[in-house]
């Protein structure tokens, strides 16, 4: 990946000191600062900003390669201890996750192959926590274009996620979207653990 200073970095602020902090999956694939992993005694926390495939899909192939690497990385972590995976994944997984699903078919972030990559991740033993608690909800999104009136009319996409190891779901009490919070083209998402 090409290095783009101050473009796609991630950060985690925590009150609990992790056992270990890892940047990227390895040195070769950390040039854009897209991923951070914190290891705690009972689980991992991974935050990531997924590469966008671009409007003309010119970065789609690179993005799909990234997805394969991420799935392998998360699967390896999940075999050691549960994983909490979060961030802007730049994909609306189902028709419920984008306001105008028919009009957006094939668009960046809503191509069939990007959506299938999300299916592949979930099939590895992970759960989309928001969808678990809100299986049919189709009116909450996490991102809106800056075009005039789009947010006010709630023409959005749900592209930010908390995805956790399915084995860890018994510790999750809620997953929510705070779409009433303004200040960015994205809004905060929240995951609550019961212990």
Continuous segment of H or E residues that includes residue 84: strand 83-88
CA 71 vs CA 34, 67, 81, 182: distances in Å: 15, 6, 15, 32
Q: Which residues, at least 6 apart from 174, have a Cβ–Cβ distance to it below 8 Å?
A: 133, 190, 191, 192
Catalytic residue among 44, 73, 88, 130: 88
Cα gap 158→130, rounded to integer Å: 10
For residues 57 and 108, give the distance between their C-alpha atoms in angstroms, rounded to a whole number.
6
Give the position of tokens 């009433």.
180
Annotation marks residue 88 as catalytic:
yes
Kindly list the catalytic residues: 49, 88
């Amino acid at each position: 990946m090409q290095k783009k200073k101050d473009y796609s970095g991630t950060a985690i602020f925590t009150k609990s000191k992790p056992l270990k902090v890892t940047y990227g999956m390895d040195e070769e694939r950390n040039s854009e600062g897209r991923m951070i992993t914190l290891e705690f005694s009972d689980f991992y926390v991974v935050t990531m900003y997924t590469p966008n495939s671009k409007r003309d899909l010119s970065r789609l192939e690179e993005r799909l390669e990234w997805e394969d690497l991420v799935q392998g990385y998360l699967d390896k972590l999940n075999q050691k201890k549960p994983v909490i995976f979060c961030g802007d994944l730049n994909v609306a997984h189902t028709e419920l996750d984008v306001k105008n699903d028919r009009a957006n078919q094939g668009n960046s972030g809503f191509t069939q192959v990007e959506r299938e990559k999300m299916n592949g991740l979930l099939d590895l033993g992970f759960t989309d926590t928001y969808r678990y608690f809100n299986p049919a909800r189709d009116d909450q999104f996490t991102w809106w274009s800056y075009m005039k009136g789009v947010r006010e009319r709630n023409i959005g996409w749900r592209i930010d996620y908390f995805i956790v190891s399915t084995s860890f779901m018994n510790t999750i009490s809620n997953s929510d979207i705070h779409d009433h919070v303004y200040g960015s083209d994205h809004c905060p998402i929240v995951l609550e653990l019961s212990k």
